[in-house]
A and B are shown apart, each in its own frame.
Chain A
Amino acid sequence: MSKTSVIIVGAGPAGLSAAMTLKRLQPETEICVIDKAAEAGNHNLSGATVETGALETLLDAVKPGWKESEAAKEILAYKVAKDNVMFFAGKNFAINIHPMMQLASMFKINFGQMRHQGDYILSISKLTKWLCQLAKEMGVEVIHGFAAEDIIYDTEKNIATGIKLVDQGIDKHGNKQPNYVAGEIINADVIILAEGCDGLVTEKFIQKASLERRAKQLYSVGVKELIRVSDEQFAKFTSGRVVHAMGYPLWTPVLGPEMFGGGVMHPVSANHIAVGMIVGLDWKYCDFNPQDALTNFKNHKFVKKFIEGGTIVEAGAKMIPEGGYFALPRAEQTRAIGRGNVLILGDAAGLVNMIKIKGLHNAIKSGIAAGEAIALCTNNITYTASKYTELLNSMGVIEEMKTASRFRQNVAKLGPLFGMPITALGQKVPLFEVEEDYHVMTGRKYKYKPSKNYDKDTFTAMAATQHREEQPSHLTIINRNTCMQKCKPKFDSPCITFCPAGVYETVGDEVKPANPSNCLHCKTCQRKCPFDNIRWTVPEGSGGPRYKNM
């Protein structure tokens, strides 16, 4: 058994910001950050446009002069100079709707937030790697390759005592191998859950500590490819440009598909352009795969010229928590995001502003708030979660979440065509009751299904994902009969299609997570299986994708 003062689950921007802030305020405090990825940044993927205000606040305090460092210059190399917000009407036609956003901004309508002026285009993998290095330099212990499985929580006293790591060295059939190591327990005074979207321990904690969400958490999944393009293509695209595109291939009028989301395109480094597709998990088409939409996006006239003939050099997928303000998990009485000595940060809490389509700035702010709260509550640790939530309020995070609240619920209820504009009315719209995303599956087909299957093998190879293959599958199907008797006849097993890594397959007369070692840890399956029949558990540490520039 190990012991530390503060344990942070998840070495992403939120967790590291908390560690760095606390270390700055209390250099003597023992802080330990654990992460299931093999190396720093390996499990971090984002859409790339970032408001750097929060990052500046964090780093100005812990690392004065940071802007002059080589690493900072490399990471913040691209400032948004050209912000294209596009509407794609069909596969050839594109309209720039950025002026509308500007107008909205002038009239202080919440949609004005959808602009990216002053933002930076950066790789969250790289940023995380660098933050990790800075945290280590400050004396924070950041330990990769260890996956947390559970939180040790006393429901009587409402206090957590530690984290349990996953067992290692179990074979496929559940037997202990000669190298078996039982998951260690790390005891700590304060526990920070910064696991990212749909955190395994976070969700367990929400149950154990009876936290509530006023609205169900809703999700999107983003799939992204990094493409090496020619000098000419890159020069034409320009290095400071970011493109967000709504409409085709997710939504087209009258008979077209009706899905929420859109495409993204941005530069990553010299001659490398990323293309991504984000889709709300409440799609209705049983044969839909977000990668198909990505293919269509790549073939759109506007996009194609920049990337045609390029080589995919990296790829990945990740979910985004989109429920917004009303889906924040809160303690019953205190309304704290967390409870007692346990705090929930960043994406794990769901601090994504859906109008901005951004969460990183809030993740960092939540880290700063957590670090400060712990420092302020040294003598009263059970008040830490409340203090943290107070600070989130005073830092304006909660207020910002409120301005974007209801957005995703409106869209889920009314569809993108009406749901999106109605959000402009802000708080005046009632909060629609919306079921979890998986409920809406139908037998309908996606209209723009490409003729060729998406090459998932290359996708996973480019995500460099890897797991120890002899371990038990970390994906489980709760009821096997459901798959063949209900799901197959009704929806033709959508998990096989939508899993970006091709984990699921029909083998013999069964649908199975046949390739668990391809898993990218996006957890879409657990949230999109139309019968809620899949559970994602955490595999042995060091498994999963190995993103470098995502």
Chain B
Amino acid sequence: MLWVNSYINGMSDYIVLVKQVPDITQITDNAFNLETGTLIRSRLASVINELDTNALAIAGRMNQLSDKPGKIIALTMGPPAAEEVLRYCLARRCDSAVLLTDKALGGADTCATANPLAFAIKKIAKELLGGSEDYYVVSGMQSVDGDTAQVPAQIAEELNMPCLPYVTDVEYKNGRFEFKGIISGGSQVISNKKVPAVITVAKYEYPLFATFAGTRLASNFKFIQWGANDINATHIGINGSKTRVISVFPPGKTTRKCRGVKDAGELAKLMVENFGKERQSGESAHDNYVLPGKRKNLFDRRFEGTKKESEDYKILADVLAKLEIKEIKQITDEVKEKIAAAASEHFHKKALEDMLAGAQVFEPAYQGQVWIAAELEGDVIHPATFELIGKARDLADSLGTQVGVVIAGNNLETKELIAAGADFVYAIEHPLLGEFDPVIYRKVFSDTIAKYWPQIVLFAATPQGRIVAPMIAYRLGCGLTADCTGLDIRDSSRKNQVAILMQTRPALGGNVMATICTKDSKCQMATARPGVMKRLAPDAKRIGKVIKEAAEISETDLSVDIIKTEKGKGKVNLGADVVVSGGKGMQSRDNYESLVNSLVESLKHKLGTSVEKGASRAAVEQGFIDRIHQVGQTGTAIGPKLYIALGISGAIQHMIGVANSDIIVAVNSDPNAPIFKHCDYYIVGTIEKVVPQISEALAKI
């Protein structure tokens, strides 16, 4: 490791991580299993992960900006066909490319992906960069298939490097790089104190174009190919993974109301009445989990991870009831034979034995509290932290344990956390924790977690949470599931595990859902999507205990210099509760500005919540508004409580990007506009006429 100010020659090299992913922007007709509705990955075309193309461009830009250009080497791990993405890189200024491919590496989760990649990076530095320590590992922030954003951070953890997340631009000043990156609610300019360092790229406007000469070269290039034995990684493949997938299922069908409304007043009323009402999702019908030992019937296994398992256990319970077996000790070898005979039409003998063994497990698989790692935005606790405490309360109550919140910072205020539902607050205070530095934060959080070993730790899937959680999980040897939208305690009796955390998340751009659980870990960890879990009403009378934790950190632990932080003003918050988008039907920039702005203001006034302006691709193309406001598949995918589409026809690409909205309202002059089939309420009419009427009606309600 080198300190950046000890640069000798100002020449850095770059290792760019690229991944081959299914092309989820082009989901073909036959890509779904018609029976289960599940997306079949192998039927999608393969492309390079888009953010990795941005990463390559950042590396190219850095190389262009620095004093002396160094080498750019592309690295990918995947099946042999993944060499296509290396060709992509070679056609765009890469000097060399390494393909890490081996059957033994397959089936890996993020931990077992980061580990071999880290070892490959070490080998590249040693063998291809002449042992240099002045290099950057540049990677897309996340891949479209996994969507986890965990691998780069975990590589940084394995290699003990600084990790500079969510970079969107780079400059070179006074002999060092300054990176502009995204933080919660704003942006930050930072510089790494040490090299080598990991850079994750969230967006870069100018991906490199292939050159003709480069493309010709790439097509005949001899890649360096390494297998598992070449890199000596410690955690690979399925066995090295810390999570396992329980089930994959299609996301719930959208059930839009598609109700046409004649009058703007009625539309306004419907908007206000239904605002905040969640869209029906099949999941809310879950019973509250009860530990197996506390259930009325000893053999009641209603809470299995999959419906099929629950049904199987129901059959078993019925068989046992028929045989009048009420206690475990009644199940002798002789009785087992009887059970086997009675259940033979349902289960094979071996399967039955596994089930019976599982039915005798009552001890929860994990012990300890349910923890939330709190997040600070400046001095304020991030709203997502409170949502998670609400969820943790739920989980802890069904597990019969307490809720703990671990928080790190300088001058902490903890009352709110207790009021929100925490039983314990573990407060880590230190002057060096005043600003978020991933390396320092991950250290103090890890130390505290390892001191108490809670059974669950949840993080918010915010920019901060998504960088620090993977580092902590990796450091502590625990599995981590990213960006969960469902968290439930369930049993996996057949695997002799009860009361484990089932972590449900969308994958492949929301086209499939997966339920995942942790394995081979001391603690179950997950990040959860903000805005999905419900916070509890604060109760100032709640009693909780604050425990001060010491932070063993010093100046030399800092990994980044924070040069500038920009928040708030002028930024676009497409995560707002309400988004009002204008499309080409707005006709002109003037129209867009006056009509969208006025509706935004009336909604803010009426609903008292955050309202943001959005736009369709076409409106952006016409120059009605900045591209940063673009909503949809090629812009930002959003899920507000209320989405209002003005003069937007509703091309598939747009609708995919707003599919998560609770309520969609559309105004369009074309009675055949496709959007009317994908919205809840609509009105046919010209924008210029209808929008002022809505504003007026809102004011009257």
Contact = CB atoms under 8 A, between A and B. Distances in A.
A515 B212 contact: no
Interface in A149-196: 165, 168-169, 177-179, 181, 184, 186
B674 A2 contact: no
B672 A514 contact: no
Given A2-B216, A311-B29, A452-B672, A514 B206 contact: no
Nearest to B26: A464
A216 interface: no
Contacts of B650: 457
Given A184-B211, A507-B588, 9 more contacts: A169-B209, A179-B206, A228-B29, A453-B670, A455-B674, A458-B674, A460-B651, A507-B584, A514-B618
A64 interface: no
A455 B584 CA distance: 16
28 contacts: A32-B216, A141-B219, A146-B212, A179-B57, A179-B206, A179-B207, A179-B208, A181-B211, A184-B212, A314-B29, A453-B670, A457-B649, A457-B652, A457-B674, A458-B674, A461-B651, A461-B653, A464-B26, A469-B621, A469-B634, A507-B588, A507-B622, A508-B587, A515-B621, A517-B617, A517-B621, A540-B209, A548-B28
A11 to B, nearest CB: 13
A143 B215 contact: yes
A546 interface: yes
Interface string B305-319: 000000000000000
A453 B668 CA distance: 15
How many interface residues does chain A have, given as a range? 35 or more
Interface string A18-41: 000000000000001010000000
A203 interface: no
Given A32-B216, A179-B57, A505 B26 contact: no
B587 A507 contact: yes
A313 interface: yes
A313 B584 contact: no
B695 to A, nearest CB: 23
Nearest to A167: B209
Interface of B: 26, 28-29, 57, 61, 205-213, 215-216, 219, 584, 587-588, 617-618, 621-622, 634, 649-653, 670, 672, 674
A86 B284 CA distance: 57
A145 B210 contact: yes
A181 B617 contact: no
A508 B29 contact: no
A501 to B, nearest CB: 11
B263 to A, nearest CB: 25
Nearest to A39: B45
Contacts of A517: 617, 621
A177 B622 CA distance: 19
Contacts of A169: 206, 209
Given A178-B206, A184-B211, A228-B29, A143 B216 contact: yes
Contacts of A505: 584
Contacts of B61: 178
A145 B209 CA distance: 10
A464 B216 CA distance: 27
A461 B621 CA distance: 18
A145 B588 CA distance: 34
Interface string A481-524: 00000000000000000000000010110000011010000000
B622 A514 contact: yes
Contact of B651 (A32, A143, A453, A457): A457
A165 B213 CA distance: 12
A177 B206 contact: yes
Contacts of B219: 141, 143
B672 A145 contact: no
Contacts of B212: 2, 34, 143, 146, 165, 184, 186
B653 to A, nearest CB: 7
Nearest to B649: A457
A328 to B, nearest CB: 31
Contacts of B211: 181, 184
